[in-house]
Amino acid sequence: MSIWRVILAIILPPLAVLDKGCGSIVIVFILTLLGWVPGVIAALIILNNPNN
């Protein structure tokens, strides 16, 4: 996980998980609509997952 991905996850969470698949984008987008902080947390968790 690069520093640029972390910065992008903080500014625009759905764009940070763009290459992780449609499901991740939708989940992060919905959480971002519900509140910026849940979207950022979800994006950082998805980016930190070593399996993807």
Tens-place pLDDT, residues 9-49: 999 999 999 998 899 999 999 999 999 999 999 999 999 98
Number of domains present in the structure of the chain: 1
Domain of residue 20 covers 3-48
The angle, 0 to 180 degrees and rounded to 10, between the axes of the packed helices 36-48 and 22-34 is 150
Residue 48 CA: distances (Å) to CA of 2, 9: 10, 11
Measured between alpha carbons, how far is 29 from 27 in angstroms, rounded to an integer? 5
Q: What is the pLDDT, as a whole number, of residue 49?
A: 87
- Confidence at 2, pLDDT banded by 50, 70, 90: confident
Q: Is the pLDDT of residue 1 over 80?
A: no
Q: What is the pLDDT, as a whole number, of residue 52?
A: 65
